[in-house]
Structure 1
Amino acid sequence: MTMLPTSAPAVPTARDRRPASAAATPAVAASRRPAVGSVHSWDLSTGVDGPGARFVTFLAGCPLACLYCHNPDTWRMRCGTRTSADDIVAEAAKYKRFIAAAGGGATVSGGEPLLQPVFTGELLHRFKHELGLHTALDTSGFLGTRATDALLRDTDLVLLDIKSWDRATYRKVTGRPLEPTLDFARRLAVLGTEVHIRFVLVPGLTDDPANIEGVAAFAAGLGNVLRVDVLPFHKLGEAKWQALGMLFTLHDTPTPTTEQTALARGVFAAHGLHAV
């Protein structure tokens, strides 16, 4: 467990930390953008939402319906709390010294943050320019056309989920087509934006060697991918599906073995990518 400096506020222990207030405070005078969004929760995390210790804002709403999603309670914007950017930035500011000392930053995640591009852009801008934090955007890329150039200029790192290379498998996993994600990845490459690719390894679904090879070859060809996270499938979110009255169709799918995960990472490494 990471220990905080004695001068820092206590770290919240639950990932599902709800915003303290839904009341909107006045927008920053210099900003013409709306300062209120639908926020599911916020948390401090280490190592899973970007480099170092990070303040992570989880926005509500997602256009995908991934079969293995461990947070299906973030799919609907109405399930979030109307929260001002002022409130979120003020909360992040409490941990600024700790985050900076831990080499971290601030991440806007979801759900899908680009479902609320204006609010996401404001958070990234203020995290970067008011708090001086490294910024990351965690996205599927499906709504990449909603990300303005200004938003991406305020984004130091994009955590991009490429869930499959095989188009039929991608649609089966997400309910959506793959091409918008690939188009967004190519745009990030042109801009020179640093990217971490995230690939979930699901036995019997995404683990076909040709599928992994396709993702690896594409990522290697971009030139701006610093890291690939091969994430072993897990069923930790199944209870949430049940609580929402939803059928978790991967109930009988096993988690990949250590050997299967290592083999997948080896495919990415063979293309010169840093795979973990």
Structure 2
Amino acid sequence: MADTATGWIHSWDLSTGVDGPGTRFVLFFSGCPLRCLYCANPDTWRLRDGREVRVDEVMVEIDKYRAFITTAGGGVTLTGGEPLLQPAFTGAVLRRCKEAGLHTALDTSGFLGPRATDGLLADTDLVLLDIKSFDAATYRELTGGRLRPTLDFTTRLDRLGKRMWIRYVLVPGWTDDKQTVEGLAGFLAGLGSVERVDVLPFHKLGATKYEALGIPFPLRDASPPDAALVDRVRHQFRAHGLAAH
């Protein structure tokens, strides 16, 4: 039952502007199947590094901020880690949030898209979909996973008419190739439910977490993109009729 379903979470926080519309209650799940070279949250990689909680416990916390987040035009965002690594728990939280009249957003790489049931997606108002690269070889090298599951999930969401905000992390030398960006822009422009593309400049804010965990930060020597590169990539998306930010 939803009331007794349990899952592993890392933490929760309040956020404005980057995790969906309005002010959000953001629930960080533990566990992720990918190992993105630029990941800022290596402390969420392993499932049992988190804390086991019941859905009821999560809803008690959300209820503390319900009036605030609804007044601010927000809702609840499930992120990670990767929420679809725990589909039953994720689905239960989404269902309870919808029963409470809250706007819901799911932040996912789409790599585990087949685990998302139609019921889970029906309780999701918005999908924040992280597409790491549109080149299969780069995707594999960058994440350790395969691109195809994410693309299949994207087309499935579009068939369902599910609202999508695409997130694209811009890493110089990795995800800035013009032809690859053009390919992704063309793919997204052919879908009807993509509302915006957020081009997110690579940063090193998670470097201290790697140090604390005693593991090397793979992109320690990489530089964030300059403003000109960010503008170029955003313009490429806009040239295909997409709202890029």
Aligned-residue offset at 1:122: 0.5
Structure 1: 5+ residue stretches without partners? 1-30
**1:126 correspondence with 2:96:** yes
Distance 2:47 2:111 in 1: 17
Q: Name which structure has the greater RCO, CA cutoff 8 Å, separation 6+.
A: 2
Q: Give the counterpart letter for 1:267 in structure 2.
A: Q
Distance 1:194 1:262 in 2: 25
Distance 1:138 1:226 in 2: 15
Which residue number corresponds to residue 85 of structure 1? 55
Tell me whether 193-202 or 219-228 shows the greater mean CA deviation. Answer: 219-228
SS in 1 for 2:184: helix
Aligned-residue offset at 1:261: 0.3
Query: Based on CA coordinates, which of the two structures has the bigger radius of gyration?
Result: 1
**1:166 correspondence with 2:135:** yes
Aligned-residue offset at 1:34: 5.2
| Structure with the bigger percentage of helix | 2
**1:114 correspondence with 2:114:** no
Which residue number corresponds to residue 249 of structure 1? 218
Aligned-residue offset at 1:156: 0.3
**1:154 correspondence with 2:118:** no
Deviations 1:103-157 (A, max 9, x none): 101011110000000000000111111x211100000000000000100000000
Distance 1:213 1:149 in 2: 31
How many residue pairs get aligned? The number is 245
Deviations 1:179-225 (A, max 9, x none): 00000001000000000000000001110111111111111111110
Identity %: 62
**1:95 correspondence with 2:65:** yes
The CA RMSD measured in Å over matched residues stands at 1.0
- Equivalent of residue 45 in structure 1, options 7, 12, 15: 15
Which residue number corresponds to residue 242 of structure 2? 273
Which residue number corresponds to residue 232 of structure 2? 263
Distance 1:260 1:134 in 2: 34
Which residue number corresponds to residue 179 of structure 1? 148
Which residue number corresponds to residue 228 of structure 1? 197
Which residue number corresponds to residue 240 of structure 1? 209
Distance 1:68 1:249 in 2: 7
Aligned-residue offset at 1:90: 0.9
Distance 1:116 1:161 in 2: 18
Q: TM-score w.r.t. structure 2 length?
A: 0.98
Which residue number corresponds to residue 27 of structure 2? 57
SS in 1 for 2:190: helix
Distance 2:181 2:22 in 1: 27
Structure 2: 5+ residue stretches without partners? none
